[in-house]
Structure 1
Amino acid sequence: MAVNNVRRIKLGSEGLEVSKQGLGCMSMSRYYGQPKPEADMIKLIHHAINSGVTFLDTSDVYGSNEVLIGKALKGGMREKVQLASKFGVTHTDGKMHIRGDPSYVRASCEASLKRLDVDFIDLYYVHRIDTSVPIEVTMGELKKLVEEGKIKYIGLSEASASTIRRAHAVHPVTAVQNEWSLWSRDLEEEIVPTCRELGIGIVPYSPLARGFFSAGPKLIENLLESDFRKSFPRFQGENLENNKLVYERITEMATRKGCTPSQLALAWVHHQGEDVSPIPGTTKIDNLNENIGSLWVKLTPEEMSELESYASADVVKGERHAFMSNTWMNSETPPLSSWNPKYRDIMH
């Protein structure tokens, strides 16, 4: 497989081009155990970029991740990448809080620019939807940031179809990032059709089921206590015992196909369309190379259906997330008319 052979796609209809597969950088710094050695992660990021994986994904809530990426992009690397970050999630007193008010939007963007040490962010997502603030108000401030050149494109994460439509009416949304994998398909009924109707790209996070389609049950056995995946319903008790069968079936098919289970699961996501760029995360170069290999795995319609039968909704046990209250199913916001009158003119 040739270096720099990862093809590019148009993400959304506003002009953004990204690599067909991106790199989720969260696990390098937070949530999946302890932060990894900085020098090793910079080496990994450079390897990704040099291999054609140029769509980098981070957030202001991923610990020191933005600072890490900023360091990795020194020396001419910035011009080679499409840099995505997010705002809206804070942790205070051990609790998660979601904010989308205008002053917080602006302060978050300026802080991320400083940590990343860049002049602009290519794609800036609302990480989770603040259900106390009309989405039009949040988007109004993001629109100003676009006009000021601080961000190039706007994205939403874990947003419902109606939230996406309302946001898009204020300023075009370039991408929606939601969980999408063989066993997390709840967005297919409403969100995917809405994105395609409006010309919005789709960025699946956790396309490998948070590592389960890569390592199987041994992943769970080896997690550190500080790894927040230990709290996920699908990885606990009877749910895990049941879900092991999903991995076993994927493994059997991967053997027939001459690829790894993770390549097969990623290939299924890639086959969802030319407007889709998944962002599998990893902290190991070998795993990154393996993920890139998924782009060369071809699946017939029959094979796609077979895979889907292994992980159908009635087969997989447990919710996909430990924090379902903060997913697209609960992302509705108040009407604009309920907001402070001085913000009501942003639609005009």
Structure 2
Amino acid sequence: MTIAPKTLDDAPIQGLGLMRLTDNGWGDADRDPAGLVQAAIDVGVTMLDTAEMYGNEGLVGRAVGTNRDHITLCSKFGVYRGSSGRPDDWGVRADPATVRAAIDGSLRRLNVDHLDLYYLHHRSEDTPIEETVKAMAELREAGKIRALGLSNVTLDDIRRAHAVHPITAVQEQWSLTQRDVELFLPTLAELGIALVAHSPMGHGSLNHSTGNLVARPLARIASRVGATAGQVALAWVHQRGRGAAGTVIPLPGTTSITHLHANIAASRIELSETDLAQLDAVTEQARA
């Protein structure tokens, strides 16, 4: 099962994470939000991803504008900031009442009548996932969402959720420095669930030639193929994803049209088996 605009028949090349999209970009040739959305559509990046907790759904809605019918619009619910403003001050609410209130708020802010894919943003320790998914399924029956997704969950969560209602996508980080999701791949393939691989460049850390365990091999390969370290890191996710049994959609985030084009270029880089083995060896050694 794969994801594409309005249908689930053809997977996009990759998605576009909009977590850092802000109003500051309007009028900037490289960072205008509407320009970014249009540029993404023009190059085949039609899956746009945001979340209630990012606080920018209204901005995303304005940026999408008249392009609504050309994209797969995704958002998430369930994670809420505390009053202190500290990064570690947050909690999860995933009870049925929150599900119903959250979707109505997201649709209003995004100025749309439905979402193509709606994720539980984080597993809850308080609400059984069956209850959350049952409430999400009711949203689908009501026409408010087209498909259900999960993020920051366990394999047990995925199986329990899928038994209540088919799950279309699971969003988890997959990068050279975070490979735990590889344990999910057989189960996702078995159940026909797509992996949406967020932060494939390690939240930006893999864009740099120092400061991480794979910096040297990344820099060496990047020099050989005429790319940046970040592009090689993204290319690694693309190639490993193409070799997986199920569907994998990398989801790099950017607010820059220039970086968007660089990310698309990365999807076309073909790493050699030696390149892949070197990168795998370094990261496996770090995990040992």
Task: Give how far 1:167 is off.
Answer: 0.1
TM-score (norm 2): 0.89
Structure 1 residue aligned with 2:80: 90
1:24 aligned to 2:17? yes
Among 219, 227, 230, which residue is 1:262 paired with? 230
Structure 1 residue aligned with 2:280: 308
Structure 2 residue aligned with 1:78: 68
Among 201, 213, 231, which residue is 2:206 paired with? 213
Structure 2 residue aligned with 1:198: 191
Task: Give how far 1:253 is off.
Answer: 1.1
Aligned residues of 2:217 and 2:278 also touching (Cα < 8 A): no
Task: Give how far 1:315 is off.
Answer: 6.7
Structure 2 residue aligned with 1:165: 159
Structure 2 residue aligned with 1:330: none
The alignment partner of 1:10 has SS state of coil
Distance in structure 2 (CA, Å) of the matches to 1:15 and 1:315: 35
Structure 1 residue aligned with 2:240: 272
Distance in structure 2 (CA, Å) of the matches to 1:139 and 1:42: 33
Distance in structure 2 (CA, Å) of the matches to 1:103 and 1:17: 34
Task: Give how far 1:260 is off.
Answer: 1.9
The alignment partner of 2:182 has SS state of coil
Task: Give how far 1:163 is off.
Answer: 0.3
Aligned residues of 2:2 and 2:10 also touching (Cα < 8 A): yes
Distance in structure 1 (CA, Å) of the matches to 2:208 and 2:254: 12
CA distance 1:125–1:313, shift in 2 (3 Å): farther
Task: Give how far 1:300 is off.
Answer: 3.2
Structure 1 residue aligned with 2:148: 154
Aligned residues of 2:41 and 2:70 also touching (Cα < 8 A): yes
CA distance 1:315–1:105, shift in 2 (3 Å): closer
Distance in structure 2 (CA, Å) of the matches to 1:272 and 1:170: 30
Task: Give how far 1:272 is off.
Answer: 2.3
Q: Aligned letter for 2:276?
A: M
CA distance 1:163–1:315, shift in 2 (3 Å): closer
Q: Aligned letter for 2:255?
A: T
Aligned residues of 1:18 and 1:82 also touching (Cα < 8 A): no
Aligned residues of 1:183 and 1:313 also touching (Cα < 8 A): no
Greater relative contact order: 1 or 2 (C-alpha under 8 angstroms, separation 6 or more)?
A: 1
Matches within 5 A, 1:109-124: 109-124=103-118
After superposition, give the CA deviation of every residue in 1:72-101 in whole Å (9 maximum; x if it has no partner): 2222x0011001100000012232010110
Task: Give how far 1:42 is off.
Answer: 2.2
Aligned residues of 1:122 and 1:152 also touching (Cα < 8 A): yes
Aligned residues of 2:34 and 2:65 also touching (Cα < 8 A): no
Aligned residues of 1:11 and 1:276 also touching (Cα < 8 A): no
Structure 2 residue aligned with 1:174: 168
Q: Aligned letter for 2:59?
A: L
1:101 aligned to 2:69? no
Distance in structure 1 (CA, Å) of the matches to 2:137 and 2:229: 41
Aligned residues of 1:18 and 1:55 also touching (Cα < 8 A): no
Percent identity between the two aligned chains: 42
Distance in structure 1 (CA, Å) of the matches to 2:26 and 2:122: 27
1:37 aligned to 2:9? no
Structure 2 residue aligned with 1:250: 218
The alignment of Structure 1 onto Structure 2 pairs a total of residues equal to 274
Rg larger for: 1
1:68 aligned to 2:59? yes
Matches within 5 A, 1:304-343: 304-312=276-284, 314=286
Residue segments in structure 1 that go unaligned for 5+ positions in a row: 1-8, 30-34, 218-239, 317-348
Distance in structure 2 (CA, Å) of the matches to 1:216 and 1:253: 11
1:284 aligned to 2:256? yes
Among 107, 114, 122, which residue is 1:128 paired with? 122
Task: Give how far 1:215 is off.
Answer: 3.4
CA distance 1:314–1:210, shift in 2 (3 Å): same
The alignment partner of 2:146 has SS state of strand
Distance in structure 1 (CA, Å) of the matches to 2:51 and 2:236: 26
Moved over 4 A (4+): none
Distance in structure 2 (CA, Å) of the matches to 1:106 and 1:161: 25
Aligned residues of 1:121 and 1:151 also touching (Cα < 8 A): yes
The alignment partner of 2:91 has SS state of strand
Task: Give how far 1:313 is off.
Answer: 5.0
The alignment partner of 2:156 has SS state of helix
TM-score (norm 1): 0.75
